[in-house]
Amino acid sequence: MEKKLSDLTVVELKSLAYDELARIEQSQSNLRILNQEIGNRIQQAQQTQQGSFTTPVSTDDSGTEVAV
C-alpha cells in the first residue's frame, strides 16, 4: 500500500529527502564519469583523425590538391 506524503512524519520525510539526495549525488558522479569517457573518446578520435591525414599536396601540372 502506498503512503501519501501527508501521511508521513517529518522524520520520514527527511529520511526520504536524504535518500533522494544520495541518489542525486550518485547520478552526478556517474555523469562526471560518462562525460570524462566521452571526452576521452572524442580526443582519441581527433588524434586518430589527425594522424591518418597528411597535409594536402599541390601538383604543378594539374592544380589539384591530393590528400595522401
Q: pLDDT: is 58 or 21 the higher one?
A: 21
Per-residue pLDDT, 16: 97
pLDDT, average across residues 18-37 = 97
Q: Which of 33-37, 44-48, 61-65 has the lowest mean pLDDT?
A: 61-65
pLDDT, average across residues 13-38 = 97
pLDDT digits (tens, 9 = 90+) for 57-66: 555 555 555 4
Q: What is the distance between the alpha carbons of residues 43 and 36, in angstroms, rounded to a whole number?
A: 10
- What's the CA angle centered on 8, arms 6 and 10, to 5 degrees? 105
Query: In the predicted model, what is the mean pLDDT of the chain?
Result: 84
Q: What is the distance between the alpha carbons of residues 67 and 55, in angstroms, rounded to a whole number?
A: 7
C-alpha cell at 34: 560518462
Q: What is the pTM of this model?
A: 0.60
